[in-house]
């Protein structure tokens, strides 16, 4: 292979990795520890986020418990489909079936807010998910309390857009009372994503404006 062709092959490889993000996931949001439930009002942006058109590229915005067994609910968006509410659970390493459950629900229009809730108990290992107050799925996960995640998740490409509002966000305390989240130190994000914090219970996840570099491909 000539030197010019070798350089061209390297440039192509770099470009593919840049576009696909090496099939990684990126996260932005916060965590509340010691909770018996999590409840988030999550808004879709006014216009669809720009999503790179490669397989499995998209985003989810959700509330959930951490693994290895977990329950999650929120909205997701993938090109060619509307934004939709969903519920997902995973037990036994997500061996499917019956270890993994995933179900799409209502279309969530752009610029609208749905409330998503997961509810646990110290008396039972069963957690239940709710969308706009309607129970959708219950699953044995773990006894509470638990960490609760309130996150946006970007799949496949870090060039995917993000602009999601969480407002307000609650957790259920040891007295089984819902209160706004109160651990501001737990916010974080994977670059190029970030969190704009208005209060610990009112925040926006978004993509930072970056200068995308496209390398010219020199073909002989």
Does 219 score more than 90 pLDDT?
A: no
For residues 214 and 153, give the distance between their C-alpha atoms in angstroms, rounded to a whole number.
25
For the CA atoms of 160, 104, 167, 25, the dihedral, rounded to the nearest 10 degrees, stands at: -30
What region does 149 belong to: left with phi over 0, alpha with psi -120 to 50, or beta? beta
Average pLDDT over the chain, rounded to an integer: 87
pLDDT of residue 201: 97
Instruction: Name the residue ranges covered by the structural domains of the chain.
Output: 24-207
Q: How does pLDDT run across 111-125, given as a tens digit for each residue? A: 999 999 999 999 999
Where helices occur in the chain by DSSP H, the ranges are 3-20
> Which pLDDT band holds residue 5 (cuts at 50, 70, 90)?
very low
Does 164 score more than 60 pLDDT?
A: yes
Strand partners, 61: 75, 152
* Architecture of the domain defined by 24-207: Sandwich (2.60)
Whole-model pTM: value is 0.85
pLDDT of residue 184: 93
Look at 214 and 15; give whichever has higher pLDDT: 214
Does 23 score more than 90 pLDDT?
A: no
The three state secondary structure string of 123-177 is CCCEEEEEECCEEEEEEECCCCCEEEEEEEEEEECCCCCCEEEEEEEEEECCCCC
pLDDT of residue 214: 40
Q: How does pLDDT run across 37-92, given as a tens digit for each residue? A: 999 999 999 999 999 999 999 999 999 999 899 999 999 999 999 999 999 999 98
């Amino acid at each position: 292979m000539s030197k010019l062709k070798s350089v061209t092959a390297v440039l192509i490889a770099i470009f593919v990795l840049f576009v696909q993000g090496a099939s990684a996931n990126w996260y932005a949001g916060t965590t509340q520890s010691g909770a018996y439930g999590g409840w988030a009002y999550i808004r879709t942006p006014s216009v669809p986020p720009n999503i790179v058109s490669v397989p499995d590229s998209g985003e989810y915005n959700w509330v959930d418990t951490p693994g290895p067994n977990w329950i999650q609910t929120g909205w997701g968006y993938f090109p060619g489909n509307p934004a939709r509410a969903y519920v997902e659970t995973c037990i036994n390493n997500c061996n499917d079936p019956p270890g993994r459950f995933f179900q799409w629900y209502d279309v969530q229009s752009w610029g609208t807010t749905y409330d998503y809730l997961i509810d646990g108990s110290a008396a039972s290992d069963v957690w239940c998910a709710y969308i706009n107050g309607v129970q959708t799925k219950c699953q044995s996960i773990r006894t509470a309390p638990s960490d609760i995640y309130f996150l946006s998740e970007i799949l496949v490409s870090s060039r995917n857009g993000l602009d999601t509002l969480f407002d307000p966000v609650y957790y259920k305390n040891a007295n089984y009372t819902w209160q706004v989240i109160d651990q501001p130190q737990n916010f974080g994000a994977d670059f190029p994503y970030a969190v704009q914090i208005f209060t610990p219970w009112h925040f926006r996840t978004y993509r930072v404006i970056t200068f995308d570099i496209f390398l010219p491909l020199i073909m002989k």
